[in-house]
Amino acid sequence: MKKPSQLSLSPATRTAQALHFINPVHGAVVPGIEPASTFARDGDYMPIGNAVYARDGGPTVEHAEAILADLDGAASSLLFTSGMSAAVALFETLEAGDHVTCPIVGYHGTIGWLHRLVEKRGVKATFYDATQDGALAAAITPDTKIVWIETPTNPNWDITDIAEAAELAHAAGAKLAVDCTVASPCTTQALELGADIAFHSATKYMNGHSDITGGVLSLSETGPFADELRMIRTLQGTVMAAFEAWLLIRGLRTLHLRFERASESAMAIAKHFENHPKLSAVLFPGLPSHPGHAIAARQMTNGFGGMLSLVALSREAAHHVATHTQVFIPATSLGGVESLIEHRIAVEGPHSVVAPELLRLSIGIESVSDLIADLEQALENAP
């Protein structure tokens, strides 16, 4: 009998099956947890498997990293205890005098850490306006080592052309790192578009259940740079623990379904509120009226994600809405199954330039009609 040809499976199928996991000993179809902190050696004092000590990783972490590398089309992926620990490890490769670019509006933790490096370590940084044509190109200098972009940016959801940014970075001899937290690999393949590093806060869509923190650096190449990042992670002790890695694997198996639902609901909400009399703007790259819509449609190929922002008519109105929803939960974070609302200025750091009227929404998997009704009733009595 002719042996059947190997099927070419989609990322959604591979992820849902945790890379077609079947335990070779007893046939379980759910990956187990290996919580050991140390691993024995054989009679020749060689490691029995890949693991030696949990600060370097372990079997459960390696399985999660393999799924993430497959999702991102990466040569390798490294898991960290949080998104910030992953970003800190990346910026730890910079030396005094090195230069990095970063959007002026973006995740406040990244911006805050870069300000610290400028003040404490002699690193140079340029914070550019991602809404202005040519701003990124003007921000890059001969000393630039990392071009950091975030697309869509948090919480204004501005769009940067990844392929164009890669050309600019590589022409300057720099590496392009893309914060893909909002645009998961379900919809954006940053490495395929030319990025060297795809960063994710695994706390968000990757896990999707608001019960772990984690960070990911997916790398386009192996070699000295990847080895340095792994060494930094080991020395800092910031590898993800086995239980959190197991929870991440569980969350990843439903990533495509959750992201699809959140994207569809966010689009419906954005369209419903686009010309609402109690709002001055709706910020969502899926709307044709969004300035970055054409680029977003080109590089976000499977939905625009579940993040959008509503701009109220005043700071007081935004505060009222954030404190009077009945379905949306007033809490930080994003990408979970539950919908969240934030009066963003209240949680940003001292370098924030976010509009005080802005409400950041993370759309979950609830009934979209319930979410729309909840926002309507909160807006109804807003000052």
**Whether 204 is catalytic:** yes
| Annotated catalytic residue within 98, 158, 161, 179 | 179
Q: Is 9 in a helix, a strand, or coil?
A: coil
341, 325 Cβ separation under 8 angstroms = yes
**Whether 315 is catalytic:** no
Which residue, 196, 240, 239, 233, is CA-closest to 218?
196
- Cα distances from 254 to residues 28, 216, 248, 259, 262, in angstroms, run 18, 18, 10, 9, 12
8/11 Cα distance (integer angstroms): 10
225/90 Cα distance (integer angstroms): 10
Q: Is 229 in a helix, a strand, or coil?
A: helix
224/243 Cα distance (integer angstroms): 29
| Annotated catalytic residue within 72, 98, 107, 161 | 107
- Encoded amino acid at 247, one letter: L
Q: Is 341 in a helix, a strand, or coil?
A: strand
Strand partners, 200: 216
**Whether 179 is catalytic:** yes
| Annotated catalytic residue within 145, 175, 204, 360 | 204
**Whether 107 is catalytic:** yes
Which two structure tokens, joined as six digits, stand for 1? Answer: 């009998």
Element (H, E) at 110: helix 108-121
Which two structure tokens, joined as six digits, stand for 383? Answer: 């000052």
219/201 Cα distance (integer angstroms): 15
Question: According to DSSP H, which parts of 25-98 are helical?
Answer: 59-72, 83-91
| Annotated catalytic residue within 14, 55, 121, 315 | 55
User: What residues are annotated to the active site?
Assistant: 55, 107, 179, 204
